[in-house]
Amino acid sequence: MFRIVLSSQQSKFLLRNSSFLSDPLRKILLESGTDPHGRVILEISRKTVEQFRDEFTSRVAQAGFDSEYGLTAEGEALEDLNDTFYEYLTDESSSSS
């Protein structure tokens, strides 16, 4: 299991824009709640981390670029989330057996 702590900014974005997530991932997100600092803390499996990353990537492809193929604010936020989830996958200390 991975314990992923999203920043308050990442948490706000994801909670406000969770409609693009599949129902199971949205449920995980909404049931996790936030800590006193406004951070979402997720306790999820490697498979679920990868599912979140897949959905972030799909959403960036759909809505993350402007007419000149530059990242929009939404695209930047999604890329940041994707990077954060990836960092947890590559950091063995964030995983508990």
pLDDT tens for residues 33-69? 899 999 999 999 999 999 999 999 999 999 999 999 9
Query: Are 6 and 80 contacting, i.e. CB atoms less than 8 angstroms apart?
Result: no
- For 29, the domain range is 2-94
Percent of the chain at pLDDT > 90 equals: 90
pLDDT score recorded for residue 15? 96
pLDDT score recorded for residue 33? 85
pTM tops 0.95 = no
The Cα–Cα gap between 43 and 32 comes to 8
pLDDT score recorded for residue 95? 64
pLDDT score recorded for residue 57? 97
* Number of folded domains that form the chain: 1
Residue 59: count of CB within 10 angstroms of its CB = 19
